[in-house]
Amino acid sequence: MRARPKNGWGWAWGLVTLAGIAPFAANMLRNFQLFAPAQLAWSFAAVLAATSGVFALAAGALRVAGIGERRARLAFTGAAALVLSVFLFDANMTELRLDFGLPRWGAVAAVAALFLAYWAVAARLGAKRTCLLLLLLLAFRAGQAAVAVRATSARGDDLVSAEDVAVYEQVELARTPNVYLICLESYHGFGAMRELYGFDNAEFREFLGANGFVVAEDVLANYSFTMTSLQSFFQMGHHYAAGAFGNHDSLYARGFLSGSGTYYNPVLRILKRNGYDVVYLLPTDYYYRPGAGLVDYSLLDRSWPFAPLKASLPRFIGREPETVVPDYPRQIAETLARWPLERPTFFFAKLGAEHSADGYDYRTDRAAFVARYVETVARENAAIEALCRQIAARDPQGIVVLAGDHGAQSYRTSRRGFAATKREDGIPAERLVKDCHDALLAIRWGTDPAPPAYPHRSMANVMRFVFLQLGGGEALRQTTARDSAYLLDDAGLLHVAEDGQALEDWSAVARKGWR
């Protein structure tokens, strides 16, 4: 006699598929800002197909075996428990090892025990009630996400004031050389690198001086992680973490950096109005939406459709949920070598060092991180120098901007925020601000005489300064952004520096965009 669950095959299929769809959807409700809608749709379809395949295998085996209803119920609930365990494996392993301090074998044993617990609960409740439980948990997670999105305070297309937009729309550049923005990941200025890491980086500074770069001293990134820092750089102003969402991320930044839809990106709009092509030579799609917005060319035509699965199954199909450009340094060099110079072009590339990783605690890990950071900087300097030499040789009139996105955060701990570290461990505010915000800024002005020194102390005004040197008009000065720095911490968005100087008291700031 063929086995058939008491509630029918439909509830059994729903149980197995929901065991994969529910944790995947819950994960995406925390990370959907990383991906384009098409990627989410393709990955959802893949989860549905894979879990349906697991159900089909279980159902086929039961039909062949012809076992009874009770064993069929155990088989389907076991399949569902296995699927759920796979999707929760990385989260469970990470929490068990980091928060509970279990060794690897202990964490694996605990995960196996959790699998048995999932199985027991599902077998006790049955397919129908377990499906309803999973849907209830997913609805709760969706409600949390809705509250978080609502708390972003300002719409992504409403971050630049109408007064500033009116000025930007009138900017006409008297000169239009190629502009090369090379963002340097977690790359400190020379003073902070010497103070924080005991590394003077003298050979690289000598290279910059010998190749016409003007180094600005003691410049701070306005925000303390990549996407919000880049958004401020291209906005030429402050967004006050209006779109903060997920793990140190932003709802708006990728659409904004691409100039997509109704997002108003001042830098890209000024460049496009003045006849520039926009070329993004970035190593992954983490920073933008390939094929969208005002970007004319990028090294990626499109994103890998199944990248969202990496966020849910990192230990099985890859940890970084992004589409990577293979052999990135070679592709940059080849693209620049063949790019025509007849039309002005804005190039955006990314090199640099690294910041402290998730699970890091400076109290135990800082010495090893400092040694690794210095090695990384020394190694990456060679790639930065090679790219700068290539640009200078082929396009001597081009303007090259080397800009760090934020500090390397060597005083980070995953167990609490920087404000708590400042308060409880007595680390000086000035040192923590440098650790989070100090960043290199060096500009090569082509073969023309260098203008006066950069008059600001933060990155938000860099492109405004460049446009002014290109004859963009004095009205641009009316839009000058405050040289203030903000840290999104456990205590909220904290105002930590003003005019390039660290503040002793870090006050919380409302996250309301430019308003």
Angle at 76 between CA 71 and CA 80, to 5 degrees: 145
The residue behind tokens 């849910």 is 312
One-letter amino acid at 288 equals Y
Pair 17, 134: CB distance under 8 Å: no
Neighbours of 361 (CB within 10 A): 14
* Range 164-283+325-508 has CATH code 3.90.1150.10: no
Residue-level pLDDT at 513: 45
Q: What is the DSSP letter of 453?
A: P
SS in 3 state form for 49-105? HHHHHHHHHHHHHHHHHCCCHHHHHHHHHHHHHHHHHHHHHHHHHHHHHHCCCCCHH
User: What predicted TM-score, i.e. pTM, was given to this entire model?
Assistant: 0.90
The residue ranges of every structural domain in the chain are 9-150, 164-283+325-508
Burial label for 507, CB within 10 Å (0-12, 13-18, 19+), is exposed
Instruction: Please state, in angstroms and rounded to a whole number, the distance separating the CA atoms of residues 105 and 114.
Output: 14
What are the structure tokens assigned to 431, written together? 């040192």
At 334-381, the pLDDT tens digits run: 999 999 999 999 999 999 988 887 778 899 999 999 999 999 999 999
Element (H, E) at 419: helix 418-425
Helix (H) or strand (E) holding 503: strand 501-508
Rounded-to-integer distance, Cα 388 and Cα 207, Å: 10
User: What CA–CA distance (Å, rounded) separates 289 from 255?
Assistant: 7
d(CA 329, CA 317): 24
Tens digit of each residue's pLDDT, the chain (515 residues): 455 555 567 899 999 999 999 999 999 998 888 898 999 999 999 999 999 999 999 988 887 776 667 788 888 999 999 999 999 998 888 777 777 778 889 889 999 999 999 999 999 999 999 999 999 999 999 998 888 787 765 565 678 999 999 999 999 999 999 999 999 999 999 999 999 999 999 999 999 999 999 999 999 999 999 999 999 999 999 998 888 777 677 888 899 999 987 899 999 999 999 999 999 999 999 999 998 899 999 999 999 999 999 888 888 887 778 899 999 999 999 999 999 999 999 999 999 988 887 778 899 999 999 999 999 999 999 999 999 999 999 999 999 999 999 999 999 988 789 999 999 999 999 999 999 999 999 999 998 888 999 999 999 999 999 999 999 999 999 999 999 999 999 888 999 999 999 999 999 997 654 33
Contact 88, 26 (CB under 8 A): no
* Cβ within 8 Å of residue 233, ≥6 positions away: 222, 267, 403, 405, 459, 460, 462, 463
Strand partners, 440: none
Question: Long-range contacts of range 315-320, CB-CB < 8 Å, 24 or more positions apart?
Answer: 315/89, 315/90, 315/93, 316/86, 316/89, 320/284, 320/286
* Residue pointed to by tokens 């955060």: 409
What is the per-residue pLDDT across 112-166, written as a single tens digit (0 to 9) for each? 999 999 999 999 999 999 999 999 999 999 998 888 787 765 565 678 999 999 9
In sequence order, what are the beta bridge partners of 213? 444
**CA-CA distance, 59 to 12, in Å (whole number)?**
9
What gap in Å lies between CA 471 and CA 57, rounded to an integer? 69
Spatial separation of the C-alpha atoms in residues 182 and 351, rounded to whole Å: 7
